[in-house]
Structure 1
Amino acid sequence: MVLTSVPAAETAYQYVRELVLDDRLPGGTMISEGEIAGQLVLSRTPVREAFLRLEAEGWLRLYPKRGALVVPIAAGEAQSVVDARLLVEVHAVESLPDSESRARLVATLGASVAQQAAALDRGDLAEYSSLDSGFHLAIVAAGGNPLLTSFSVTLRERQQRMVARSLWRDVERARGFVVGHERLTDFIRDGDPRGFAGALRRHLHDAHLPERAAAAGQPA
């Protein structure tokens, strides 16, 4: 499991972080340095460093002599993430400098949509999830603001954790989101930021706030 070319603390950090983001370590779970060290065949020192880093990022809460608690998802966090993503992605589309930039983005998004569909045809939900993240990140990056692009990565990580069990295990549900990506791409191609904003709101609510979307009469 250990990659010799990667520092031990980084290996431990990436390992525990992925367990949290994929919900294999659900919120409320207690873990110990010894447990993780044993799984990775490492000493406790790099695991301790990893735990401290994950605590600073808000994923873990450390308790001396007891271990680390995986911080549960806060009430209302899903809505907050959706609201933030709407602001960032719509701003990016509104900030596209010219038709040439828009055309490049549309080409990138079109290629991504095709790859997403192919991944789902293979039943590869992990690849689809990665492509989905890349699709939305490409939109933000096209807006030309590196701080918002970095912030978008953080939002996607939080969102990944929220939907790890409920969304990315359902191929047919994911196919509906690919159709949503096609619509978003069409609005960008047409130079219609307002249409994009409405489509993105429906897309995100359906993906991450499904109960609220259904109550509002939005399509699933």
Structure 2
Amino acid sequence: MPAPSGAAERAYEHTKTRILSGEIPGGRLLSEGEVAAELGISRTPVHEAFLRLDAEHLLAVSSRRGAAVVPMAPDEARDVLEMREAIELSTARRALAHGAPPVETLDAMRASLQDQREAAAAGDVEAFVEADGRFHTVLVVASRNQTAQQFHGLLRDRQQRLRRQLLHVGPQQVASSLGDHEAMLAAAEQGDVEEFCRLVGEHVRRHRGIL
């Protein structure tokens, strides 16, 4: 398959970002002409971008209806949370197998947590979601489990889309997630793998309860 053109890549990233952020809600119809006009490009690269998003199940492209944003169904959300929990528990057990992780790992967790605090204080859910994602990625990377990292990467877009949906429920969800992360960092600093894994389980169960 030939590499996408620069215009097609722009259309793809632009549309995907708007879908994952929730700016374009599930079920909304998109037209190639609308996106082409927004970006100042022809419809051909937009069509190419839409086909890529269709393959990723973010758009449903139809010759009759155009393209509709695919909502995240409750079953898909549960599947994402289930796989996320499995990966994070497995990688945490490896990363914390010998006690607290290296200083650079803890520093990365602390930096992400500080970004979360600042985003929460500013009421910036989008910035919080990005920092939240970085926090959960740190121990996955620290585990040095390449297979887990690959699966985690494949889930990233859907995890971030789900985080946005969950955290936009209300400010209390941001506060709860921040509190969970504070406790997870404390457990990691102590090298307490059982406590860390217990907290991950509670964190995911709280999200399941919102679905």
Q: Is the structural similarity TM-score above 0.5?
A: yes
State the partner residue of 2:122. Answer: 122
Note if contact 2:100-2:188 (Cα within 8 Å) is conserved in structure 1: no
The alignment partner of 1:69 has SS state of strand
Match of 2:183 in 1: 183
Instruction: Tell me the CA shift for residue 72 of structure 1.
Output: 2.4
Q: Distance in 1 between matches of 2:49 and 2:154?
A: 18
Query: Is residue 71 of structure 1 aligned with residue 98 of structure 2?
Result: no
Instruction: Please name the residue that 1:86 is paired with.
Output: 85
Whichever residue aligns with residue 87 of structure 2, its letter is V
TM-score, normalization by structure 1 = 0.83
Answering whether residue 195 of structure 2 is matched by residue 195 of structure 1, we say yes
The answer to whether the 8 Å contact 2:12/2:52 transfers is: yes
In structure 2, how many angstroms separate the alpha carbons of the residues matched to 1:172 and 1:116? Answer: 14
Moved more, 127-136 or 98-107: 98-107
Q: Name the CA distance, whole Å, in 1 between partners of 2:74 and 2:165.
A: 18
Deviates more, 1:107-116 or 1:136-145: 107-116
Tell me if the contact between 1:32 and 1:66 (Cα under 8 Å) persists in the aligned partners: no
- Corresponding residue pairs, total: 206
Cα contact 2:166–2:173 (8 A) shared by 1: no
Conservation of the 8 A alpha-carbon contact between 2:184 and 2:199:
yes
TM-score (norm 2): 0.86
**Structure 1: stretches of 5+ with no match in the other structure:** 1-5, 213-220
Query: C-alpha distance in 2, partners of 1:103/1:91?
Result: 21
The aligned counterpart of 1:216 is none
Shift of 1:65: 4.6
Stretches of 4+ moved more than 6 A in 1?
Answer: none
1:22 alignment partner in structure 2? 21
> CA-to-partner distance for each residue in 1:164-191, whole Å, 9 max, x for gaps?
3451474443122111101111222222
Distance 1:118 1:27 in 2: 29
The answer to which structure has the higher helix fraction is 2
The amino acid of 1:150's aligned partner reads Q
* Identity of matched residues, %: 33
For the structure 1 residues 99 and 166, does the alpha-carbon distance in structure 2 shift closer, same or farther, using more than 3 Å as the test? closer
In the alignment, structure 2 segments of 5+ residues that lack a partner are none
Partner SS, residue 164 of structure 1? helix
Describe the superposition over 1:186-208 as per-residue Cα deviations: whole angstroms up to 9, x where unpaired: 222222222222211111222x2
RMSD (CA atoms) = 2.3
User: Shift of residue 134 of structure 1?
Assistant: 0.6
1:154 corresponds to: 154
> Tell me, what secondary structure is at the counterpart of 1:177?
helix
